[in-house]
Structure 1
Amino acid sequence: MEQIAALLVSAHIIGDFALQPKFMAENKQKPVVLLLHAAIHATLAWALCLCWTCWIIPVSIFIAHGVIDLLKQRNGMKPSTSFIIDQIAHIIFLLLLAGVLSQLLSLPVLPDLYYKGVVLSAGLAAATRGSGFLVGLVTREILDNNNLKPDGLIDGGQLIGLLERGLIFLFMLIGQPMAIGFLVTAKSILRFEEAKQQPFAEYILIGTLLSFALAIALSALAIRVASPGT
């Protein structure tokens, strides 16, 4: 069950954070876009699990993913809270599906290299893009609530965060987590002037700590799941 669960969740992460363009994320209230998004998830999960005769995978994921995303649009919660609940709902469904599949079917044994490649690819997407969505939502809410308007390049902070989380994933993957300390130091030096103003200092600190914490946790989890015997 563990392997199929990991592949289903990995497919979800890749579909949501690596294969979902901005226009699709912003237009899922349109039925055609929502159905296309659900179809991508269903097809990706079916393909990655290498269980070609198991139609329950694409059919159930197509329906469940579409319904969950539809409910997300109507819950009226803060964007950050809605994002977290939405992801939890998707993962719970996929874990339940994995349990059903393990009871009903004889699932194929997948090559170790293939399994690790899929899980680590999903881990990279989660640590960089996935956590970036949440960090962006949280920091945007902070800016709006406090009427803060930071200067800088358009999407510059988003790109910096993406790169720093990518480096964190790399450091964790090669077994050098201590190198993350150099990232913290470098970022502190580069943001020194902004940090002199208390509102921006707190905003930067919250965003940085959340970004680093999510990247470290998701990277460690992906590496652990990719190598369950170690």
Structure 2
Amino acid sequence: MYFKEIFLLLLLAHVIGDFYLQTEKMAENKTDHVRWVLIHCLVYWAAFVIVILPVFNWSLVLYGFLAALLHMGIDMAKYAYTSLSKKKVRALRREQYIFLTDQLLHISVLFFMAYYYTVHVASLPLSHSLTGIFSVTGLSKTACISWITALLLIHKPVNIAISKILIVFKPENKDADREQVHNAGRLIGTIERLIMLIFISLGQYAAIGLVLTAKSIARYDKIVKEPAFAEYYLLGTLLSTVSVIIISFVL
């Protein structure tokens, strides 16, 4: 059965199309102009084509096209919902719910599509060149797809998800260079999750504590002086750690 491989391919295409190929401008304009929703869905479909092409399986390409159509349906529904109250100030907590519900629906669609494909097609032939590469190197194609997907997930998607969840708990920052600090924090979070992911894959669970300790020492002074920041920092660290654990065990 090829369920995991099919699901990973669809999830990889989703991550690339919905996070890495979607610019901030596109994400912002999607809430105001329907044409940007359509542009995003075309880019999303292109991500599926790029990911699925090495498989050279037309049935899977058609499933990718169906995934793009369903993605457009969900995004159009989100656009219609946000347009109903676009003149009102959007509550931060509602923004959380919209993002999390949107991603949950997208991933659920991919899960059921992978299940349906596995039951009715149950075939995932690779191109001769890729088959030769895996055969010579002794690598597992499932392991390769899993690692690529996991590495892409722990960067931009997890950073965005954590920022959406923490947005209502974020303390006021009066520093002039807060944008640079924010970007540095995201990079630190990505590196932190990468190290934890490697430790988990090696079975070195105790070593994860060293990463969290080093991060806490760097922020110790601010944690002690600002209780609000301490809670914000702890919540962000816990969410980051949980995300790595879930990604490592699921993928």
> Is the TM-score greater than 0.5?
yes
Is 1:167 matched with 2:183? no
Is 1:91 matched with 2:107? yes
Could you tell me how far apart the structure 2 residues matched to 1:53 and 1:169 are?
34
TM-score by length of 2: 0.75
Identity of aligned residues (%): 28
Is 1:207 matched with 2:246? no
SS at match of 2:206: helix
Aligned with 1:80 (options 80, 90, 96): 96
Could you tell me how far apart the structure 1 residues matched to 2:191 and 2:250 are?
19
Structure 1: gaps (5+ residues): 223-230
TM-score by length of 1: 0.81
Structural mapping, 1:92-131, within 5 Å: 92-109=108-125, 113-131=140-158
Could you tell me how far apart the structure 2 residues matched to 1:92 and 1:221 are?
14
C-alpha distance 194-150 of structure 1, shift in aligned 2 (>3 A): farther
Structural mapping, 1:1-230, within 5 Å: 1-29=3-31, 30-47=36-53, 49-76=55-82, 78-109=94-125, 113-143=140-170, 148-149=172-173, 151=175, 152=178, 153-154=180-181, 155-196=183-224, 197-222=226-251
Structure 2: gaps (5+ residues): 83-92, 132-138
Q: CA deviation at 1:209?
A: 1.1
SS at match of 1:108: coil
C-alpha distance 171-10 of structure 1, shift in aligned 2 (>3 A): same
Could you tell me how far apart the structure 2 residues matched to 1:141 and 1:187 are?
23
Could you tell me how far apart the structure 2 residues matched to 1:175 and 1:20 are?
35
Larger Rg: 2
Q: CA deviation at 1:60?
A: 0.3
Q: Deviations over 1:128-171 (max 9, x none)?
A: 3222111111222212xxx5216453422112112111211222
CA contact (8 A) 1:4 1:98 kept: yes
Could you tell me how far apart the structure 2 residues matched to 1:138 and 1:50 are?
39
How many correspondences in the alignment?
219
Could you tell me how far apart the structure 1 residues matched to 2:121 and 2:143 are?
22
C-alpha distance 66-135 of structure 1, shift in aligned 2 (>3 A): same
Q: CA deviation at 1:46?
A: 3.1
C-alpha distance 106-210 of structure 1, shift in aligned 2 (>3 A): closer
- RMSD, aligned α-carbons: 2.5
Q: CA deviation at 1:205?
A: 0.9
